[in-house]
Amino acid sequence: MSCQDRGLLYGDGLFETLLVVDGAPRRWRQHMQRLKEGCSRLGIGGVEEAKLRADAEALCTNKARAVLKIVITRGAGGRGYRPSAQSDPTRIVQIHPYPEYSSQYWSRGVKVRVCQHRLGANPALAGIKHLNRLEQVLARSEWDEPDVAEGLMLDSGENVVEGTMTNVFVVKNKRLYTPDLTSCGVKGIVRDGVIDIAENLGVSSAETELSLDDVRQADEIFLTNSLIGIWPVMQLERCTYGPGLITQQVAEKLAPWNNGWIS
């Protein structure tokens, strides 16, 4: 990759992180859909899915469980922010070991903290998985206790948006709520999946503003992303939560989608 690459110089690009199980990347179609949506929002053209697929297949062969990372940048450009009219994107496809998470994160749940760093409002970038992740880097540097699995991030209006690497759901009075992401945050692929699953289960769900108190006072809290599927939250600062029925029902429905990893 060129040291003039705009992905390196400006974070001018997008990425996807996919779960690999039994030699195959999971939810390929959904990841490609979000990547294409990101490319169209940023005006990055010329990304060829067939080439990404070929790279991915070569890297995933014989991998029982792994992480596939796809990065697309606008490519190399001269000095200055203005993007060139011609698009010659850079494609990076990497394979990584699956992280060593305790199995209790799924069975008992995780401990979560609240981050000090506040997410800025940026509707033009909200939802897509762009490469500018300094807010998450700052938030994730706030703690190093190994037993705290995730940190919740709030916006400047003190509403909860997401975790540093996950989306957040809460259950209150048998209804499911997740933060509205029109101003900031990543629209997770598992988040979309959970909303569909809830509908099939007959559980009403809403994308809405959620204050920290709304989250603290929830009956159940859970976190989602492509690598973990669902982690129930068992502790948020000093509040504790038992195993939740709706969390369990949603996780069970997600399990086949995740090739049995989450049970």
Interface residue list for ligand PLP (CB under 6 A)? 17, 136, 162, 165-167, 186, 188-191, 224-226
Check 135, 150, 162, 220 and give the catalytic one: 162
The least distance separating ligand PLP from the CB of residue 201, rounded to whole angstroms, comes to 19
Active site residue 129: yes
The least distance separating ligand PLP from the CB of residue 179, rounded to whole angstroms, comes to 11
Nearer to ligand PLP, 77 or 154 (CB): 154
Active site residue 48: no
Active site residue 162: yes
Burial code of 28-49, b = ≥16 C-beta within 10 A, e = fewer?
bebbbebbeebbeebebeebee
Torsions phi, psi for 257 (to 5 deg): -65, -30
Check 63, 129, 166, 178 and give the catalytic one: 129
- Tell me the C-alpha distance between 161 and 142, whole Å: 17
CB contact at 8 A, 88 and 34: no
Nearer to ligand PLP, 166 or 235 (CB): 166
CB contact at 8 A, 60 and 25: yes
Question: How many CA within 13 A on the CB side of residue 19?
Answer: 19
The least distance separating ligand PLP from the CB of residue 134, rounded to whole angstroms, comes to 12
Nearer to ligand PLP, 160 or 186 (CB): 186
Q: Provide the annotated active-site residues.
A: 17, 129, 162
